[in-house]
Amino acid sequence: MRTSRGRFITLEGIEGAGKSTQRDVVREVLIQAGLDPLLTREPGGSEIAERMRALLLDKSNQGMHADAELLLLFAARAEHLHKRILPALEVGQWVLCDRFTDATYAYQGAGRGLDRARIAMLETFVQGSLRPDLTLLFDLAPAAGLARVHSRSDPDRFESEALVFFERVRSDYLRIAHCEPERVRQIDAGRDSMTVAADVRRIVGDYVAALGSS
């Protein structure tokens, strides 16, 4: 199957929602459809953006001002977009990105309490009209997500936030899904991973098939 411009798929959800496992499922569906997706992530995804990621996740940067955090995220996004995402999309490659700007609305907007209009301004400044074509939102109760995360690793700067922070993040993700039901498909990530994977296969499979027949 050929399309002129590649499609941009993003994965979202709070920590511990199983995005990494399900990313492999999405990748498999795309490969079976004859596509060769670029797999990437935010913050990060390019050499300089990965250095910014390290600053953002480093627990010793606990005192980082929320505005600095927001600008650093968009600085990393600009690097990533221009170095990797846009060049791939332009030659028709599909891009599968673990988190994108919906995370900024959820974490910096709702989580940190920053004004959504300022985020929207930066979004337009950095991305122009580029938005994801399809977003899979893995929805999970924060208590369950955090329990998963804390059982497997030393928490980073975001993972060290309190439960109430993640409650706000989750609510905002749900708000976005409610506002944009065509783009954002909400998936209940509280079920076993095989059941979640079946939903992912169906949603992504249908999306690819619909493009192929249009």
Closest separation in Å from C-beta 128 to ligand TMP: 18
Does residue 12 touch ligand TMP according to CB under 6 A? no
Closest separation in Å from C-beta 166 to ligand TMP: 9
Closest separation in Å from C-beta 132 to ligand TMP: 12
Does residue 43 touch ligand TMP according to CB under 6 A? yes
Quick one: 179 exposed, middle or buried, by C-beta within 10 A (0-12, 13-18, 19+)? exposed
Q: How far apart are the first and last CA of the chain?
A: 11
Closest separation in Å from C-beta 140 to ligand TMP: 13
Helix pair 19-32, 193-213: axis angle to 10 deg: 40
Closer to ligand TMP at the Cβ: 140 or 208? 140
Closer to ligand TMP at the Cβ: 22 or 104? 104
Q: In the stretch 92-111, what mask flags binding to ligand TMP with x, by CB under 6 A?
A: ------xx---xx--xx---
Which residue among 17, 25, 72, 73 contacts ligand TMP (CB under 6 A)? 73
List the strands of the sheet with 184-188, edge to edge.
38-41, 95-98, 8-13, 134-139, 184-188
Which residues, other chains included, contact 130 with Cβ-Cβ below 8 Å and sequence gap of 6+? 8, 81, 86
Helix pair 47-57, 66-80: axis angle to 10 deg: 160
Torsion of CA 171, 99, 78, 30, to 10 degrees: -140
3-state secondary structure 7-43: CEEEEEECCCCCHHHHHHHHHHHHHHCCCCCEEEECC
191's tokens: 């079920």
Q: In the stretch 110-149, what mask flags binding to ligand TMP with x, by CB under 6 A?
A: ----------------------------------------
Closest separation in Å from C-beta 172 to ligand TMP: 11
CA gap 199, 32 in Å, rounded? 16
DSSP state for residue 186 in the 8-state scheme: E
Closest separation in Å from C-beta 156 to ligand TMP: 7
Does residue 42 touch ligand TMP according to CB under 6 A? yes
Q: How many residues bind ligand TMP (CB under 6 A)?
A: 12
Does residue 23 touch ligand TMP according to CB under 6 A? no
Residues forming the site for ligand TMP (CB under 6 A): 15, 41-43, 73, 98-99, 103-104, 107-108, 158
